[in-house]
Amino acid sequence: MNSEDLSGFLKALRFAANKHRNQRRKDKRNTPYINHPIEVCYVLTESGSVFDPAILTAAILHDTLEDTRSAPEEIRELFGSPVLDLVKEVTDDKHLPRFVRKRLQVENASTISDAAKQIKLADKISNIRDILENPPWSWNTRRKLDYINWAEQVAGGLRGVNKKLEDKFDELVRISREKLDKGNRR
């Protein structure tokens, strides 16, 4: 990343941190929400060897349209149309019921751009890691497994763009199922 790209990424990080500043994950630790987009970027770079500035910038912003009062025009003005387009590709329409949003993620996964597929896959890896290590406080084993099964359906449409991310996802799903199944037998 050159200095201009790094500056743009840090600007996006500051923007996302400000937008998510009062949000917390629904886990026992009450984790600051901004940790999630940071983790998605970390997964992209560390597990997927993704260093494209537009992808990383969109990854840090990936939940701002969906979960904050950010407007598409604001993201376009600050970060450009290519970043906004990626953010929009990975954003659910919160006006739709949850079950419809989940179904649409499965149906649309194969139709999004390769860059958006990588962000979406890193997002699923991050969420599954959280379910395994610091789950939402109200989730039982069945709900955790349901999420993993659904994420696997989404990931089916994301394949073919980054083998390293796909392998990390598959490994994490295997480990998660083993751990959750082992806990179920106690």
pLDDT in tens, the chain (186 residues): 899 999 999 999 999 999 999 999 999 899 999 999 999 999 999 999 999 999 999 999 999 999 999 999 999 999 999 999 999 999 999 999 999 999 999 999 999 999 999 999 999 999 999 999 999 989 999 999 999 999 999 999 999 999 999 999 999 999 999 999 876 665
Residue 66 bears catalytic tag: yes
The rounded distance, in Å, linking the Cα atoms of 60 and 77 is 16
Kindly list the domain boundaries of the chain, sorted by start residue.
3-184
Predicted pLDDT at 183: 64
Question: One of 5, 27, 52, 66 is an active-site residue; which one?
Answer: 66
Q: What is d(CA 133, CA 147) in angstroms, rounded to the nearest whole number?
A: 14
The confidence score (pLDDT) of residue 181 equals: 85
Domain 3-184 in CATH 1.10.3210.10: yes
Residues 6+ apart with CB under 8 A from 100: none
User: Residue 158 in 3-state DSSP?
Assistant: coil
Query: Three-class SS of residue 136?
Result: strand
Query: Which of 67, 85, 92, 152 is labelled catalytic?
Result: 67
| In the block, residue with structure tokens 């406080």 | 137
> What would the two tokens of residue 50 be?
């993704």
Amino acid occupying residue 14: R
Question: What pLDDT was estimated at residue 1?
Answer: 82
What 3-state DSSP class applies to 151? helix
Q: pTM value?
A: 0.96
What's the pLDDT score for residue 182?
Answer: 78
